[in-house]
Amino acid sequence: MKVGMVYDPIYLKHDTGEHVENPGRLSAIISRLEKGGLRQRLEQLEPRAAIGGELALVHQWQYINYIREMAGKGGGWLDADTVMSVDSYKAAAFAGGGVITAAEAVMAGQLASAFALVRPPGHHATAKRAMGFCLFNNIAVGARHARKRLGVESIAIIDFDVHHGNGTQEAFYNDRSVLYISTHQAPHYPGTGDIQETGSRLAEGTTLNIPLPAGSGDTEYLRVFKEIVMPATRRFEPQLILVSAGYDGHWADTMSMMQLSVEGYAQMMVFIRELADELCGGRLVLGLEGGYDLPALAASVEATFSVLLGESPGADPLGKPGRRYGVPDIEDLIRVVKKLHRLG
């Protein structure tokens, strides 16, 4: 079973200074993969930059040119959360291109699955706006490329980042060929992702939001996967599954108030891989989104790769939550989502 890893040092050149989304995130991941001997067992994929026309499958040309021009001027703050440097346009183009590279390899049958370890992240970026640390929407660019250039007729995007992927939802809100499923903390940034946001009239039901209360952990997430994510994906019958893989719901990550563990993330990936094997010949592509506690991020990515390789990730190196927020009640949430999306 061949599993691919997309990575390039260009991603480290997106210089954000002391920002929480910084090059140290990828350095921590790569270091752990190398020390554990896992990187050497993965197929190494060299990404290319997404060209303007590929980025324009999702983003407006005026916005693409704006990001290019900002980089040419040395970068700067795009909003209160999002900063770029002189190399950020190139890194962001390679981030979108990294997901494209992974999708091309998987669809060509060269690999069973692939994980694009890219930055800047992407799922908050809209057609005309950078936000939430994101410049270009990497997963959306990869999905559009797969639809337009690789002949994929139906795609499911599963987004388990702790923040709602407003940019990805917006990109496919009117597109019945793409199922977008998001599990996220609510209320939380960016304030979107309500249960009632289900897609436009022409694409009703192809957006599925699961806004979880603070304090949700392995038990709540895995129940949601079993009762909502898996049956909804099975009903849609995608030919390719893409994952916005954000690890900021880990209990050690201060960017959220969630209680997920490394073991919990691994089990979610077991479910996603099961769906890919069952529905689309194992075709599965992941793109890195959030995750800001470095030990938790690196261990969770390592566990993800172990699952993709068909192996047990072993003992959770960080253990169970070290902070508590009470036991959330998600009964009503599950009932309402099931009823709204006719999931039984």
Type and span of the H or E element at 179: strand 178-185
Q: Residues 157-184, buried b or exposed e (16+ Cβ, 10 A)?
A: bbbbbbbbbbbbbbbbbebebbbbbbbb
Catalytic residue among 14, 123, 124, 341: 124
Distance CA 65, CA 152 (A): 29
Q: Starting from the edge strand earliest in sequence, which strands make up the sheet with 207-212, in order?
A: 43-45, 3-6, 113-116, 284-288, 240-245, 155-159, 178-185, 207-212
Of 2, 109, 122, residue with least CA distance to 50: 122
Of 216, 205, 204, 270, residue with least CA distance to 243: 270
Distance CA 304, CA 262 (A): 9
Write the CB contacts of 108 (distance below 8 Å, at least 6 apart in sequence).
none
User: What's the number of CA atoms in the CB half-sphere (13 Å) around residue 252?
Assistant: 18
Is 124 among the catalytic positions? yes
What the block records as the tokens of 323 is: 């902070």
User: What's the number of CA atoms in the CB half-sphere (13 Å) around residue 254?
Assistant: 3
Query: Rounded to the nearest 5 degrees, what angle is found at the Cα of 167, between the Cα atoms of 164 and 169?
Result: 70
8 Å CB contact between 262 and 291: no
8 Å CB contact between 114 and 276: no
Please give the radius of gyration of the chain, using alpha carbons only, rounded to the nearest integer.
18
Tell me which residues are annotated as active site: 124
